[in-house]
A and B are shown apart, each in its own frame.
Chain A
Amino acid sequence: MKESEKEKLFANLFSENRGKIYRLCSAYLIDKTEVDDLFQEVMINVWNNLEKFRGESQINTWVYRIAVNTAFMFNKKTKKTKNLFLRFSPDSQALKNEPDQSKNDQSHEMIKQLHQSINTLTNQDKIIISLVLEGLKYEEIGAITGLTVSNVGVKINRIKPVLLKRMKEVQNG
Protein backbone atom coordinates (compact mmCIF):
# COMPACT_ATOMS: atom_id res chain seq x y z
CA MET A 1 0.00 0.00 0.00
CA LYS A 2 1.38 3.41 -0.99
CA GLU A 3 1.86 5.99 1.78
CA SER A 4 -0.67 8.34 0.18
CA GLU A 5 -3.27 5.54 -0.03
CA LYS A 6 -2.62 4.65 3.61
CA GLU A 7 -3.06 8.25 4.71
CA LYS A 8 -6.27 8.61 2.71
CA LEU A 9 -7.71 5.35 4.03
CA PHE A 10 -6.81 6.36 7.58
CA ALA A 11 -8.41 9.78 7.18
CA ASN A 12 -11.60 8.16 5.88
CA LEU A 13 -11.69 5.59 8.66
CA PHE A 14 -10.99 8.26 11.25
CA SER A 15 -13.65 10.52 9.86
CA GLU A 16 -16.32 7.83 9.64
CA ASN A 17 -15.60 5.96 12.85
CA ARG A 18 -14.31 8.41 15.43
CA GLY A 19 -17.76 8.98 16.96
CA LYS A 20 -18.49 5.26 17.23
CA ILE A 21 -15.04 4.45 18.57
CA TYR A 22 -15.12 7.29 21.05
CA ARG A 23 -18.52 6.11 22.32
CA LEU A 24 -17.12 2.60 22.73
CA CYS A 25 -14.12 3.98 24.65
CA SER A 26 -16.43 6.07 26.82
CA ALA A 27 -18.52 2.99 27.60
CA TYR A 28 -15.41 1.12 28.66
CA LEU A 29 -13.86 3.84 30.80
CA ILE A 30 -15.41 6.69 32.72
CA ASP A 31 -12.58 9.19 33.21
CA LYS A 32 -12.33 11.66 30.31
CA THR A 33 -8.49 11.60 30.22
CA GLU A 34 -8.44 7.80 30.16
CA VAL A 35 -11.08 7.76 27.42
CA ASP A 36 -8.91 10.13 25.37
CA ASP A 37 -5.86 7.92 25.97
CA LEU A 38 -7.73 4.80 24.92
CA PHE A 39 -9.15 6.55 21.86
CA GLN A 40 -5.61 7.54 20.89
CA GLU A 41 -4.33 3.98 21.35
CA VAL A 42 -7.11 2.64 19.14
CA MET A 43 -6.24 5.14 16.42
CA ILE A 44 -2.52 4.32 16.66
CA ASN A 45 -3.34 0.61 16.34
CA VAL A 46 -5.62 1.29 13.37
CA TRP A 47 -2.76 3.18 11.72
CA ASN A 48 -0.19 0.46 12.52
CA ASN A 49 -2.40 -2.30 11.16
CA LEU A 50 -3.80 -0.59 8.08
CA GLU A 51 -1.44 -2.41 5.73
CA LYS A 52 -2.62 -5.75 7.11
CA PHE A 53 -6.24 -5.12 6.17
CA ARG A 54 -7.02 -7.74 3.53
CA GLY A 55 -10.67 -7.04 3.02
CA GLU A 56 -11.63 -10.46 4.45
CA SER A 57 -13.98 -8.78 6.88
CA GLN A 58 -15.93 -5.55 6.56
CA ILE A 59 -13.87 -2.49 7.34
CA ASN A 60 -16.23 -1.52 10.19
CA THR A 61 -15.88 -4.95 11.80
CA TRP A 62 -12.12 -4.65 11.36
CA VAL A 63 -12.01 -1.25 13.09
CA TYR A 64 -14.27 -2.47 15.89
CA ARG A 65 -12.04 -5.52 16.44
CA ILE A 66 -9.03 -3.27 16.84
CA ALA A 67 -10.97 -0.95 19.16
CA VAL A 68 -12.33 -3.76 21.36
CA ASN A 69 -8.97 -5.57 21.57
CA THR A 70 -7.15 -2.33 22.36
CA ALA A 71 -9.65 -1.65 25.13
CA PHE A 72 -9.01 -5.10 26.59
CA MET A 73 -5.26 -4.43 26.51
CA PHE A 74 -5.53 -0.91 27.89
CA ASN A 75 -3.40 -0.32 30.96
CA LYS A 76 -4.54 2.78 32.84
CA LYS A 77 -1.30 2.97 34.80
CA THR A 78 1.04 3.11 31.81
CA LYS A 79 2.01 6.66 31.00
CA LYS A 80 0.72 7.54 27.58
CA THR A 81 2.33 9.68 24.93
CA LYS A 82 1.08 13.20 24.37
CA ASN A 83 -2.48 13.05 23.12
CA LEU A 84 -2.16 13.35 19.36
CA PHE A 85 -5.86 13.29 18.69
CA LEU A 86 -7.05 15.75 21.30
CA ARG A 87 -7.76 18.34 18.62
CA PHE A 88 -9.98 15.89 16.78
CA SER A 89 -11.45 14.03 19.75
CA PRO A 90 -15.23 14.17 19.72
CA ASP A 91 -16.47 16.38 22.48
CA SER A 92 -18.46 14.27 24.91
CA GLN A 93 -20.81 16.46 26.90
CA ALA A 94 -22.01 13.59 29.04
CA LEU A 95 -18.49 12.62 29.98
CA LYS A 96 -17.50 16.14 30.78
CA ASN A 97 -20.66 16.46 32.81
CA GLU A 98 -21.46 19.79 31.21
CA PRO A 99 -24.84 20.80 29.84
CA ASP A 100 -25.08 21.03 26.09
CA GLN A 101 -27.49 23.72 24.98
CA SER A 102 -27.90 22.22 21.52
CA LYS A 103 -29.42 19.03 22.89
CA ASN A 104 -32.40 18.72 25.08
CA ASP A 105 -31.68 18.25 28.76
CA GLN A 106 -33.57 14.98 28.96
CA SER A 107 -31.37 13.25 26.37
CA HIS A 108 -28.27 14.59 28.01
CA GLU A 109 -29.39 13.34 31.40
CA MET A 110 -30.20 9.92 29.92
CA ILE A 111 -26.77 9.62 28.31
CA LYS A 112 -25.18 10.49 31.62
CA GLN A 113 -27.28 7.88 33.43
CA LEU A 114 -26.52 5.36 30.71
CA HIS A 115 -22.79 5.91 31.15
CA GLN A 116 -23.13 5.51 34.91
CA SER A 117 -25.12 2.28 34.49
CA ILE A 118 -22.78 0.80 31.87
CA ASN A 119 -19.87 1.57 34.15
CA THR A 120 -21.22 -0.89 36.75
CA LEU A 121 -21.03 -3.81 34.29
CA THR A 122 -18.05 -6.13 33.76
CA ASN A 123 -15.55 -5.11 31.07
CA GLN A 124 -16.79 -7.70 28.62
CA ASP A 125 -20.41 -6.71 29.18
CA LYS A 126 -19.55 -3.04 28.71
CA ILE A 127 -18.13 -3.81 25.28
CA ILE A 128 -21.01 -6.05 24.21
CA ILE A 129 -23.68 -3.60 25.33
CA SER A 130 -21.97 -0.67 23.64
CA LEU A 131 -21.93 -2.67 20.38
CA VAL A 132 -25.63 -3.41 20.86
CA LEU A 133 -26.33 0.27 21.51
CA GLU A 134 -24.49 1.08 18.27
CA GLY A 135 -27.09 -1.03 16.51
CA LEU A 136 -24.79 -3.87 15.44
CA LYS A 137 -26.37 -7.20 14.55
CA TYR A 138 -25.69 -10.36 16.55
CA GLU A 139 -23.63 -11.73 13.65
CA GLU A 140 -21.45 -8.62 13.61
CA ILE A 141 -20.95 -8.74 17.37
CA GLY A 142 -20.06 -12.42 17.01
CA ALA A 143 -17.50 -11.60 14.30
CA ILE A 144 -15.93 -8.94 16.50
CA THR A 145 -15.85 -10.87 19.76
CA GLY A 146 -15.41 -14.44 18.51
CA LEU A 147 -18.58 -15.58 20.28
CA THR A 148 -21.13 -17.70 18.44
CA VAL A 149 -24.35 -15.93 17.45
CA SER A 150 -26.32 -17.92 20.02
CA ASN A 151 -23.80 -16.98 22.73
CA VAL A 152 -24.10 -13.34 21.76
CA GLY A 153 -27.87 -13.69 22.16
CA VAL A 154 -27.51 -15.34 25.56
CA LYS A 155 -25.18 -12.63 26.80
CA ILE A 156 -27.29 -9.76 25.47
CA ASN A 157 -30.45 -11.21 26.98
CA ARG A 158 -28.64 -11.40 30.29
CA ILE A 159 -27.10 -7.90 30.12
CA LYS A 160 -30.13 -5.91 28.89
CA PRO A 161 -32.38 -6.39 31.95
CA VAL A 162 -29.40 -5.76 34.24
CA LEU A 163 -28.64 -2.50 32.45
CA LEU A 164 -32.28 -1.35 32.49
CA LYS A 165 -32.50 -2.21 36.20
CA ARG A 166 -29.34 -0.22 36.90
CA MET A 167 -30.75 2.68 34.85
CA LYS A 168 -33.83 2.71 37.06
CA GLU A 169 -31.68 2.61 40.18
CA VAL A 170 -29.60 5.54 38.89
CA GLN A 171 -32.77 7.47 37.98
CA ASN A 172 -34.19 6.89 41.44
CA GLY A 173 -30.92 8.03 42.98
Chain B
Amino acid sequence: MDNFKKLSTIWQSNLLQQNVMKVSDLRSSGIIDKLKKLEKKHLRINLVKTITVAVLTLLLAYNILSLSNVSILTKSALGWIILSLIAGMFAYWRMQYSSSQFNFMDNSLEFIENTIIKLYSQKQIITHLLPIMVISLAIGMNVIYLDLLQGENLTIRLSLHIFMTTFLLLAMYLGLKVRKRRFNNDFKPIIEELENLKQNFKNDE
Protein backbone atom coordinates (compact mmCIF):
# COMPACT_ATOMS: atom_id res chain seq x y z
CA MET B 1 0.00 0.00 0.00
CA ASP B 2 2.84 2.36 0.91
CA ASN B 3 4.45 1.48 -2.38
CA PHE B 4 1.30 2.49 -4.15
CA LYS B 5 0.99 5.80 -2.31
CA LYS B 6 4.54 6.60 -3.35
CA LEU B 7 3.74 5.73 -6.94
CA SER B 8 0.65 7.92 -6.81
CA THR B 9 2.67 10.89 -5.53
CA ILE B 10 5.30 10.45 -8.22
CA TRP B 11 2.61 10.03 -10.89
CA GLN B 12 0.88 13.25 -9.88
CA SER B 13 4.18 15.13 -9.80
CA ASN B 14 4.60 14.39 -13.51
CA LEU B 15 3.28 17.17 -15.80
CA LEU B 16 2.48 19.55 -12.98
CA GLN B 17 0.82 22.78 -13.99
CA GLN B 18 2.79 25.88 -13.18
CA ASN B 19 0.96 28.56 -15.07
CA VAL B 20 -2.71 29.53 -15.09
CA MET B 21 -4.35 29.72 -18.48
CA LYS B 22 -6.33 32.81 -19.42
CA VAL B 23 -9.04 33.15 -22.04
CA SER B 24 -6.83 35.66 -23.84
CA ASP B 25 -4.01 33.07 -24.13
CA LEU B 26 -6.33 30.60 -25.83
CA ARG B 27 -7.97 33.27 -27.99
CA SER B 28 -4.67 34.68 -29.21
CA SER B 29 -3.51 31.17 -30.11
CA GLY B 30 -6.49 30.81 -32.49
CA ILE B 31 -7.65 27.63 -30.73
CA ILE B 32 -11.08 29.01 -29.84
CA ASP B 33 -11.77 29.95 -33.48
CA LYS B 34 -10.62 26.55 -34.72
CA LEU B 35 -12.79 24.81 -32.13
CA LYS B 36 -15.80 26.77 -33.35
CA LYS B 37 -15.04 25.82 -36.95
CA LEU B 38 -14.67 22.13 -36.07
CA GLU B 39 -17.97 22.25 -34.20
CA LYS B 40 -19.74 23.28 -37.41
CA LYS B 41 -17.79 20.99 -39.75
CA HIS B 42 -20.29 18.08 -39.75
CA LEU B 43 -23.23 20.40 -40.21
CA ARG B 44 -21.47 21.95 -43.21
CA ILE B 45 -20.74 18.55 -44.80
CA ASN B 46 -24.36 17.41 -44.43
CA LEU B 47 -25.63 20.74 -45.76
CA VAL B 48 -23.45 20.41 -48.87
CA LYS B 49 -24.83 16.89 -49.49
CA THR B 50 -28.42 18.07 -49.05
CA ILE B 51 -27.94 21.08 -51.32
CA THR B 52 -26.33 18.87 -53.99
CA VAL B 53 -29.29 16.46 -53.94
CA ALA B 54 -31.73 19.40 -54.02
CA VAL B 55 -29.99 21.02 -57.01
CA LEU B 56 -29.85 17.72 -58.95
CA THR B 57 -33.55 17.10 -58.22
CA LEU B 58 -34.48 20.60 -59.39
CA LEU B 59 -32.45 20.15 -62.58
CA LEU B 60 -34.19 16.84 -63.27
CA ALA B 61 -37.61 18.37 -62.60
CA TYR B 62 -36.83 21.41 -64.78
CA ASN B 63 -35.61 19.28 -67.70
CA ILE B 64 -38.64 17.00 -67.62
CA LEU B 65 -41.25 19.69 -67.08
CA SER B 66 -39.81 21.86 -69.86
CA LEU B 67 -40.69 19.12 -72.39
CA SER B 68 -43.92 19.59 -74.30
CA ASN B 69 -47.02 17.51 -73.47
CA VAL B 70 -45.79 16.00 -70.22
CA SER B 71 -48.33 13.35 -69.15
CA ILE B 72 -49.80 12.79 -65.72
CA LEU B 73 -47.84 9.51 -65.50
CA THR B 74 -44.49 11.30 -65.98
CA LYS B 75 -45.45 14.03 -63.52
CA SER B 76 -46.47 11.36 -60.98
CA ALA B 77 -43.18 9.49 -61.47
CA LEU B 78 -41.29 12.76 -61.02
CA GLY B 79 -43.29 13.42 -57.86
CA TRP B 80 -42.43 9.91 -56.66
CA ILE B 81 -38.70 10.55 -57.23
CA ILE B 82 -38.81 13.91 -55.43
CA LEU B 83 -40.77 12.44 -52.50
CA SER B 84 -38.34 9.50 -52.23
CA LEU B 85 -35.36 11.82 -52.22
CA ILE B 86 -36.93 14.13 -49.61
CA ALA B 87 -37.83 11.12 -47.41
CA GLY B 88 -34.35 9.66 -47.94
CA MET B 89 -32.58 12.90 -47.02
CA PHE B 90 -34.85 13.34 -44.00
CA ALA B 91 -34.03 9.80 -42.80
CA TYR B 92 -30.33 10.43 -43.49
CA TRP B 93 -30.32 13.60 -41.38
CA ARG B 94 -32.18 11.84 -38.58
CA MET B 95 -29.83 8.87 -38.55
CA GLN B 96 -26.76 11.09 -38.81
CA TYR B 97 -27.99 13.30 -35.98
CA SER B 98 -28.88 10.46 -33.62
CA SER B 99 -25.71 8.48 -34.36
CA SER B 100 -23.35 11.44 -34.15
CA GLN B 101 -24.70 12.58 -30.79
CA PHE B 102 -22.40 10.51 -28.62
CA ASN B 103 -23.16 11.34 -25.04
CA PHE B 104 -19.67 11.78 -23.64
CA MET B 105 -21.05 12.99 -20.33
CA ASP B 106 -22.62 9.60 -19.52
CA ASN B 107 -20.72 7.31 -17.22
CA SER B 108 -18.53 4.89 -19.18
CA LEU B 109 -20.78 1.85 -18.92
CA GLU B 110 -23.82 3.76 -20.22
CA PHE B 111 -21.67 5.48 -22.81
CA ILE B 112 -20.29 2.18 -24.11
CA GLU B 113 -23.72 0.54 -24.35
CA ASN B 114 -25.34 3.54 -26.09
CA THR B 115 -22.40 4.12 -28.40
CA ILE B 116 -22.40 0.52 -29.66
CA ILE B 117 -26.09 0.95 -30.62
CA LYS B 118 -25.40 4.31 -32.29
CA LEU B 119 -22.44 3.00 -34.24
CA TYR B 120 -24.50 0.09 -35.53
CA SER B 121 -27.11 2.59 -36.71
CA GLN B 122 -24.37 4.03 -38.97
CA LYS B 123 -24.42 0.66 -40.71
CA GLN B 124 -28.15 1.05 -41.27
CA ILE B 125 -27.48 4.18 -43.30
CA ILE B 126 -25.39 2.00 -45.57
CA THR B 127 -27.38 -1.19 -45.75
CA HIS B 128 -30.95 0.15 -45.64
CA LEU B 129 -31.20 3.76 -46.73
CA LEU B 130 -28.99 3.78 -49.83
CA PRO B 131 -30.63 0.74 -51.55
CA ILE B 132 -34.15 2.04 -50.79
CA MET B 133 -33.31 5.45 -52.27
CA VAL B 134 -31.66 4.02 -55.39
CA ILE B 135 -34.46 1.51 -56.04
CA SER B 136 -37.09 4.28 -55.66
CA LEU B 137 -35.09 6.44 -58.04
CA ALA B 138 -34.78 3.57 -60.55
CA ILE B 139 -38.53 2.87 -60.43
CA GLY B 140 -39.36 6.56 -60.96
CA MET B 141 -36.86 6.98 -63.79
CA ASN B 142 -38.05 3.80 -65.53
CA VAL B 143 -41.66 5.00 -65.44
CA ILE B 144 -40.60 8.37 -66.90
CA TYR B 145 -38.60 6.66 -69.70
CA LEU B 146 -41.49 4.28 -70.36
CA ASP B 147 -43.80 7.20 -70.86
CA LEU B 148 -41.51 9.64 -72.67
CA LEU B 149 -40.02 7.12 -75.11
CA GLN B 150 -43.31 5.69 -76.37
CA GLY B 151 -42.56 6.79 -79.94
CA GLU B 152 -39.13 5.13 -80.14
CA ASN B 153 -38.48 1.58 -81.31
CA LEU B 154 -38.27 -1.27 -78.81
CA THR B 155 -34.50 -1.81 -79.08
CA ILE B 156 -33.68 1.82 -78.22
CA ARG B 157 -36.23 1.84 -75.39
CA LEU B 158 -34.95 -1.40 -73.90
CA SER B 159 -31.32 -0.27 -74.21
CA LEU B 160 -32.06 2.99 -72.41
CA HIS B 161 -33.96 1.24 -69.62
CA ILE B 162 -31.18 -1.29 -69.16
CA PHE B 163 -28.44 1.36 -69.35
CA MET B 164 -30.09 3.69 -66.84
CA THR B 165 -31.01 0.91 -64.39
CA THR B 166 -27.55 -0.65 -64.61
CA PHE B 167 -25.95 2.76 -64.09
CA LEU B 168 -27.99 3.39 -60.93
CA LEU B 169 -27.37 -0.11 -59.57
CA LEU B 170 -23.66 0.20 -60.29
CA ALA B 171 -23.55 3.58 -58.54
CA MET B 172 -25.35 1.98 -55.57
CA TYR B 173 -22.94 -0.96 -55.54
CA LEU B 174 -19.91 1.34 -55.56
CA GLY B 175 -21.48 3.61 -52.93
CA LEU B 176 -22.19 0.61 -50.71
CA LYS B 177 -18.67 -0.72 -51.20
CA VAL B 178 -17.00 2.58 -50.29
CA ARG B 179 -19.25 3.12 -47.29
CA LYS B 180 -18.81 -0.46 -46.07
CA ARG B 181 -15.05 -0.10 -46.31
CA ARG B 182 -15.21 3.15 -44.38
CA PHE B 183 -17.44 1.50 -41.76
CA ASN B 184 -15.05 -1.43 -41.42
CA ASN B 185 -12.04 0.90 -41.09
CA ASP B 186 -13.53 3.61 -38.88
CA PHE B 187 -16.31 2.06 -36.83
CA LYS B 188 -15.79 -1.70 -36.66
CA PRO B 189 -12.53 -1.52 -34.64
CA ILE B 190 -14.20 0.89 -32.21
CA ILE B 191 -17.26 -1.36 -31.88
CA GLU B 192 -15.05 -4.38 -31.21
CA GLU B 193 -13.05 -2.44 -28.63
CA LEU B 194 -16.25 -1.20 -26.96
CA GLU B 195 -17.68 -4.74 -26.92
CA ASN B 196 -14.48 -5.92 -25.19
CA LEU B 197 -14.68 -3.09 -22.68
CA LYS B 198 -18.34 -3.84 -22.01
CA GLN B 199 -17.40 -7.44 -21.31
CA ASN B 200 -14.61 -6.30 -18.96
CA PHE B 201 -17.03 -4.07 -17.11
CA LYS B 202 -19.42 -6.99 -16.62
CA ASN B 203 -16.73 -9.51 -15.64
CA ASP B 204 -16.24 -8.35 -12.07
CA GLU B 205 -19.93 -7.85 -11.34
Q: Is A172 an interface residue (CB 8 A)?
A: no
Contacts of B29 in A (CB 8 A): 87-88
Instruction: State whether the Cβ of A92 lies closer than 8 Å to any Cβ in chain B.
Output: yes
B-facing residues in A117-158 (Cβ within 8 Å): 122-125, 127, 130, 132-135, 143-147, 151, 154-155, 158
- Tally of contact residues, A, Cβ under 8 A: 69
Q: Which residues of A contact B12 (CB under 8 A)?
A: 23, 133-135
Interface presence of B117 (CB below 8 A): no
Cα distance, A61 to B202, chains bound together (Å): 22
Identify B10's interface contact among A16, A114, A123, CB under 8 A. A114
Smallest Cβ-Cβ distance to A124: which chain B residue: B200
Q: Specify which chain A residues have a CB less than 8 angstroms from the CB of B186 in the assembled complex.
A: 75, 77-78
CB within 8 A of B189: which of A75, A124, A154? A75
> A133 near B8 (CB under 8 angstroms)?
yes
Contact across chains for B10 and A111 when beta carbons are under 8 A apart: yes
CB <8 Å contact, B17 and A7: no
Q: Kindly supply a per-residue 1/0 record for chain B positions 177-205, scoring 1 wherever the CB is within 8 Å of any chain A CB and 0 otherwise.
A: 00000000110011001101100110011
Contact call A146/B110, Cβ cutoff below 8 A: yes
CB distance from A18 to the nearest CB of B (A): 7
Whether B21 lies near A14 (C-beta < 8 A) is: yes
Cβ–Cβ contact A8 & B23, under 8 A: yes
Query: Is there a chain B Cβ closer than 8 Å to A19's Cβ?
Result: yes
- Distance of A87 Cα from B19 Cα, bound (Å): 14
In contact, A84 and B193 (Cβ under 8 angstroms): no
A107 contacts B by Cβ under 8 Å: yes
Q: Is the CB of B21 within 8 A of A15?
A: yes
Q: Which residue of B lies closest to A110 (CB)?
A: B10
Give the chain A neighbours of B205 by CB distance below 8 A: 151
Say whether A145 contacts B109, CB under 8 Å: yes
For residue A111, which residues in chain B have a CB less than 8 angstroms away from its CB? Answer: 10-11, 14
Q: With A84-B31, A88-B29, A155-B204 given, is the CB distance from A19 to B17 under 8 Å?
A: yes
Given contacts A14-B21, A66-B104, A66-B105, 8 further A-B contacts (CB under 8 A): A10-B32, A12-B21, A18-B17, A23-B15, A52-B105, A65-B104, A69-B106, A75-B189
